[in-house]
């Protein structure tokens, strides 16, 4: 029998396929199309201390090889998430990854304190969202080593019962520096990459349509960059890596695992095909059968 189980920071997943935060809602939105039991883990849409309204429209635009988004982490807040969404997700075998966001260190701490007591499996600290405009949160923490160190250390102090996964930004000169910084500050694992900064201009209206002018680029176009960064980060830290960025097929997923990811997350592909995660898992299984791989963990980090 083939083993598809993987372990991230002490949490065992039935398989290495998870969903990327912000692309799968809270699972409820996809449940009528997808058997959530077949997905290893669900990283929910960002959860803040209070309800966030997000950015004004337009929020999403297609581009060559991907998508630009400027949603702005719209969410109903941590109390609603704990009361309404967690009980729904607990009907399924998928592990629950709570993606935490904030405008300040204190907001991150506040969410972590509440999430620590909730029935979830891991916390993913989102210090890398590029869509918060001038609010001072998100990307600012993920691109400055000192700020990253502070928010991770203080959030970790509130998480006495849950492992901490830190989501890294690709919009830096050296992502390994941030990875090593958050590892030293107490991160139990890292996830990467979040979206790359991109832009669109409407040449007829002569304006940039997004309110923040820039937006997050995701989809197949960013895969080579994401794969390179996962490889570099895994070589620089000892903690597990959750890889993401343009994964659309089982072959993509296997590349990320060979580069060092213990598990992978599927994002933009979910918008194109709600069954993307299920298809990718099937293709991984087919690859294992064809290559006579008995344990998926055999391939993790095999690229020197």
Catalytic residues: 129
The number of residues in the chain equals 304
Closest-CA residue to 139 (of 204, 78, 73): 73
Dihedral sign computed on CA atoms, order 271, 56, 28, 222: positive
Peptide bond into 89 cis (omega under 30): no
Closest-CA residue to 303 (of 238, 199, 227, 239): 227
Q: Could you give the count of Cα atoms lying within 13 Å of 121 in the half-sphere of its Cβ?
A: 20
What tokens were used for 53? 């309204």
Alpha-carbon span 7 to 188, nearest angstrom: 12
Query: Are 142 and 169 in contact, with CB atoms under 8 Å apart?
Result: yes
């Amino acid at each position: 029998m083939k083993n598809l189980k993987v372990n991230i920071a002490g949490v065992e997943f039935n398989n290495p396929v998870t969903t990327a935060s912000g692309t799968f809602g809270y699972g409820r939105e996809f449940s009528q199309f997808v058997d959530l039991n077949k997905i290893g883990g669900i990283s929910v849409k960002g959860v803040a201390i209070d309800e966030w309204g997000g950015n004004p429209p337009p929020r999403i635009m297609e581009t060559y090889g991907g998508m630009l988004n400027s949603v702005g982490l719209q969410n109903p807040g941590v109390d609603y998430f704990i009361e309404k969404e967690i009980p729904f997700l607990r009907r399924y075998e998928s592990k629950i990854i709570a993606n935490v966001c904030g405008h300040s260190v204190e907001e991150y701490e506040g969410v972590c304190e509440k999430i620590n007591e909730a029935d979830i499996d891991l916390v993913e600290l989102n210090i890398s969202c590029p869509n918060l405009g001038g609010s001072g949160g998100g990307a600012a923490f993920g691109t400055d080593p000192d700020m990253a160190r502070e928010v991770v250390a203080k959030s970790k102090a509130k998480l006495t019962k849950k492992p901490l996964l830190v989501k890294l930004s690709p919009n830096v000169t050296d992502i390994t520096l941030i990875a090593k910084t958050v590892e030293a500050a107490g991160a139990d694992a890292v996830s990467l990459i979040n979206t790359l900064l991109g832009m669109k201009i409407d040449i007829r209206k002569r304006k940039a349509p997004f309110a923040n002018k820039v937006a997050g680029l995701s989809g197949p176009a960013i895969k080579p960059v994401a794969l390179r960064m996962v490889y570099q980060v895994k070589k620089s830290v000892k903690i597990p890596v959750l890889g993401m960025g343009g994964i659309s097929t089982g072959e993509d997923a296997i590349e990320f695992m060979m580069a060092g990811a213990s598990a992978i997350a599927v994002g933009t592909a979910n918008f194109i095909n709600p069954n993307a995660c299920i298809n990718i898992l099937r293709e991984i299984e087919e690859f294992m059968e064809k290559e006579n791989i008995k344990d998926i963990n055999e391939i993790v980090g095999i690229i020197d």
